[in-house]
Structure 1
């Protein structure tokens, strides 16, 4: 995930401190994993180091320090460049699901059981997403449909993988 560029996008609406950046991210992607505070502050530190954001205010007001960040001209250009470039197709990448399956097959683990559990988890997540409204934000529906489409593609792959593993076992008999 392009966390740095997402943070630049969030800051393009105006200066904010880390807590607001985290809340903004989580509002933009309500059906995804929340952004961790540590990741926000680490990324803001790197962006500041690289001249893409700057500190515009520091306050403590009797509580924890609050640092307010703003996107710089260089940061806006970086964001424009990032938004302009197409994302390369993910050919040959192996996510955790594929890694677990290959490991189960190669080590004699319960690959079919893993596939069944994974399939049930995907179906459960699709039902959760379809049963609750996506929210008022106009992009929430886009995010939701993207997630569901990917889960659906995973389900088709899980079925194909189980079919292949079953066919391979029968062929070896």
Structure 2
């Protein structure tokens, strides 16, 4: 995940402190793993070191010290370049689910049982996504993120079904 670039994107609207960056990320991607505070502050430190963000304010206002970060011109340029570049499709990348199926087959375990459990897990997650609205009706970014997750889960589900069919056919031919 391009955490640094997402942090730059979150700071694009204006300066913010780490807590706001974390909350912004989690609001942008409500169906993904929340961004850890430690990752936010580590990323902000690296971005500051690299001249992509700068400290615009430090204060405590009666609580813990809060450092407010803003984009530098170099940071805006970096963000614009990242947003303009298409990503390479993950050709040849192997998902952990596929790795588990292959490992299960090579260790002599019953892969059909794993596939059935994984299929049930995917179906549960798809039902959760469909039953919980992502936010306000006009929240297009959240809806796009949710659609991405659901469509990928659906593709995984099709692969799981295909793998189950293939393994069941193999069992039939070996009888």
- Under TM normalisation by the shorter chain, which class is it? over 0.9
Aligned mates of 2:163, 2:121 — CA distance in 1 = 16
Alignment of 1:41-52 (within 5 A): 41-52=41-52
CA distance in 2, matches of 1:105, 1:165: 10
- Single out whichever of 63-72 and 73-82 deviates more from structure 2: 63-72
Structure 2 unmatched ranges of 5 or more: none
Find the aligned partners of 2:174 and 2:81 in 1 and give their Cα distance.
53
Q: Check if 1:95 corresponds to 2:95.
A: yes
Corresponding position of 1:163:
165
State how far apart, in whole Å, the 2-side matches of 1:109 and 1:43 are.
42
Supply the distance in 2 between the matched residues of 1:110 and 1:13 (Cα, whole angstroms).
52
Whole-Å separation in 2 of the counterparts to 1:131 and 1:41: 34
- How big is the shift at 1:48? 0.9
1:106 matched to which residue of 2? 106
Superposition CA RMSD, Å: 1.3
Matches within 5 A, 1:71-150: 71-136=71-136, 137-150=139-152
TM (normalized to structure 2)? Answer: 0.93
Whole-angstrom CA distance in 2 between matches of 1:121 and 1:145 = 18
Q: Per-residue displacement from partner, 1:133-168 (whole Å, max 9, x unpaired)?
A: 221122111111111110000000001111122222
* 1-structure distance, mates of 2:82, 2:14: 19
Q: What TM-score does the superposition give when structure 1 sets the normalisation length?
A: 0.94
Cα offsets for 1:85-130 (capped at 9, x unmatched): 1111111111211111111111122311111111111111111111
Q: Distance in 2 between matches of 1:55 and 1:168?
A: 62
- How far did residue 58 of structure 1 move? 1.6
Aligned residues: 173
Structure 1's consecutive aligned runs of 4 or more residues displaced over 6 angstroms after TM superposition are: none
Helix, strand or coil at the partner of 1:74: helix
Unaligned runs of 5+ in 1: none
1:22-33, aligned counterparts within 5 Å? 22-33=22-33
